[in-house]
Structure 1
Amino acid sequence: MRAQQTMNLNKEQAQNIASVLTEALPYIQRFSGKTIVVKYGGNAMTDEGLKQGFARDIVLMKLVGMNPVVVHGGGPQIGDLLDRVGKQSEFIQGMRVTDTETMDIVEMVLGGLVNKEIVNLIHQAGGNAVGLTGKDGNLICATKMKMKNLAPELDAPEIIDLGHVGEVGQINTKVLDMLIQDDFIPVIAPVGVDKEGQSYNINADLVAGKIAEALHAEKLMLLTNTAGLLDKQGTLLTGLNAESVDKLVEDGTIYGGMLPKIQCALEAVQNGVHSSHIVDGRVEHAVMLEVFTDEGVGTLITA
């Protein structure tokens, strides 16, 4: 009796595997040879199980013919090191004020500790990754961010100086094209440099979006710590376009930290990326589920 139950269980498991592979096949065929830019951050960067799952997802994408490009954040890790050296973190309107000393720590954490950990995870999963920052090969030409004071009642000028906080001026894709052609997986830390050689810390979502545009990517995927974009009743929204996003901003559904993320995703599809996805990075194998299944695990945005 027990042997029969085991046989039935094994048969059911085999059928489930076959069903999964059958569902994935058209997506593998459709996206083979296409570039998919993934912004990696949030819980997926701190939970050990999610970290391992993310690396395996990226390697699987590469093995079935896709060209994944990873852009990562590292805000919590930067904050931890600043605390350890006794330096106070200061934020204005959600942006970290980055003086010269803080910029040195940002480069150490993003370009060193975090970047190399991700590269190592991909190698352990059987992939072949190369870590770089936006300073390598002049990948990210940055400009200094000029932030408007959105709270005039504060004792601050109209334009706030955040120090070494930048925006993407231009993406030089030569080094990425070379790595992709040689079957490497680029892993990019969002540090850029201006024409005078000054380093800048840049929001990882923004960098991922601009790299997706420059590479004419099939998909931009932004991992986050939410299920995606939710309506006021808490229901997941998907299949959005520019018109529907504008309405959701107007009625207050999109606000706070989700607003710049949605705007980044929308701008990418308006500039040639086929689709953008706000993906729940708390779900194990979120990247694989979004790419290879009908249902997905986030919010889809198209032009």
Structure 2
Amino acid sequence: MKTTGPQPLEQHLQQTAKVLSEALPYMRRFAGQTMVIKYGGHAMGDEALAHQFARDVVLIKQVGINPIVVHGGGPQIGAMLERLKIKSEFIDGLRVTDQATVEIVEMVLAGSINKQIVTAINGAGGTGIGLSGKDGRLIEARKLRRSVRDPGSNIEKLLDLGFVGEPTRINPDILRTMQTSNLIPVVAPIGIGENGETYNINADTSAGAIAAAMGATKLLMLTDVAGVLNKDKKLIPNLTAKEALVLMGDGTISGGMIPKVETCLDAVRGGVNAVHILDGRIPHVLLLELFTAHGVGTMIERTP
């Protein structure tokens, strides 16, 4: 009598059981811990990936982890400014933000984008709550000051970026209150100044500051790249803070990856155990990182 191996349905069920079994130790390990997720890039613009992201965040909450989502929205802001015929320029990757621009930034980030993410989380069975950094003075900020050196005269010049800010203090009480409930906070990176000014803050920077203030176990940063690459353009899975500094010094880490890694280093200096730079274009990338043995992307850990 001829015997046959497992049929496709049985193979699928066995694989599902294997995945769940592998995930269980990580679910137990991370239960009750806080994880900050910086959400941006292609993952936000792709409808299927956005739907998967919302489901994954709800699953993370359901297994007892406390996720905090901090989102960006640069392309959406740019599209709205263009639609309203408001000119905008960038200096060193930062949008110069005058009074008219900061009003649009706040409208897009704390309005349409924030509510889209909240709606997606709610639609996936969670309870998302939208916040901006102005709510409860969550993100207190000051004007970001940057300088450039003129290559000809070697004179350093102070740049005026308008209402671009940097966090000075995170007030996490409102987030801690949410942790005792089933709420999932979704934070727009808008800060409030000493005199009530509104500041546009880089989402990576905001996520790192919130992760440190909350004593998060992990900061998970979704990007449009695989992670940190070596000189041969191959992924580096693990780095210590010291190793990351060396790679920035020798030029291996360059361009737009530099500010991301600097945010990672600030976070681990602030007490976050590990920061993960992940490719948000990969379906279910959060689950792959948290609940599988090998994970994905690049992990930067505190230097012992």
Which of the five TM-score ranges fits, normalised by the shorter chain?
over 0.9
**Do structure 1's residue 262 and structure 2's residue 261 form an aligned pair?**
yes
Unpaired segments of 5 or more residues in structure 2? Answer: none
Matching of residues 38-117 of structure 1 within 5 Å: 38-117=37-116
Q: Per-residue displacement from partner, 1:107-150 (whole Å, max 9, x unpaired)? A: 00000000000000000100001001000001000010001114
Report the equivalent of 1:126: 125
Query: Amino acid of the residue matched to residue 126 of structure 1?
Result: G
Q: Structure 1 residue 270: deviation in Å?
A: 1.8
For 1:232, what is the secondary structure of its paired residue?
A: coil
Matching of residues 1-303 of structure 1 within 5 Å: 8-153=7-152, 158-303=157-302
Tell me if structure 2 keeps the 8 A contact 1:192–1:199.
Answer: yes
Q: Structure 1 residue 297: deviation in Å?
A: 1.9
Report the CA distance shift for 1:229/1:198 in structure 2 as closer, same or farther (over 3 A). same
TM-score by length of 1: 0.96
Distance across 2 between alignment mates of 1:254 and 1:87: 34
Q: Per-residue displacement from partner, 1:150-176 (whole Å, max 9, x unpaired)? A: 454599971101000000000001111
Query: Amino acid of the residue matched to residue 142 of structure 2?
Result: T
Report the CA distance shift for 1:235/1:151 in structure 2 as closer, same or farther (over 3 A). farther
Tell me if structure 1 keeps the 8 A contact 2:141–2:191.
Answer: yes
Q: Structure 1 residue 238: deviation in Å?
A: 2.0
Distance across 2 between alignment mates of 1:147 and 1:240: 28
Query: Amino acid of the residue matched to residue 124 of structure 1?
Result: G
Q: Per-residue displacement from partner, 1:15-55 (whole Å, max 9, x unpaired)? A: 10011011101110000000000000000000011100100
CA RMSD, Structure 1 to Structure 2 (Å): 1.7
TM-score by length of 2: 0.95
Tell me if structure 1 keeps the 8 A contact 2:220–2:278.
Answer: yes
After the TM superposition, list the runs of 4 or more consecutive aligned residues in structure 1 that deviate by more than 3 angstroms: 4-7, 150-157
Tell me if structure 2 keeps the 8 A contact 1:97–1:163.
Answer: yes
Query: Amino acid of the residue matched to residue 164 of structure 1?
Result: F
Q: Per-residue displacement from partner, 1:235-271 (whole Å, max 9, x unpaired)? A: 1002201221121112211011100101111221122
Distance across 1 between alignment mates of 2:4 and 2:34: 44
Q: Structure 1 residue 286: deviation in Å?
A: 0.9
Distance across 1 between alignment mates of 2:6 and 2:249: 57
Report the CA distance shift for 1:156/1:75 in structure 2 as closer, same or farther (over 3 A). farther
Distance across 2 between alignment mates of 1:133 and 1:214: 16
Report the CA distance shift for 1:152/1:84 in structure 2 as closer, same or farther (over 3 A). same
Distance across 1 between alignment mates of 2:101 and 2:299: 36
Tell me if structure 2 keeps the 8 A contact 1:152–1:158.
Answer: no
Distance across 1 between alignment mates of 2:87 and 2:279: 30
For 2:7, what is the secondary structure of its paired residue?
A: helix
Unpaired segments of 5 or more residues in structure 1? Answer: none
Distance across 1 between alignment mates of 2:199 and 2:150: 25
Distance across 1 between alignment mates of 2:290 and 2:150: 40
Distance across 1 between alignment mates of 2:13 and 2:153: 63
Distance across 2 between alignment mates of 1:283 and 1:159: 40
Query: Amino acid of the residue matched to residue 17 of structure 1?
Result: T
Q: Structure 1 residue 6: deviation in Å?
A: 11
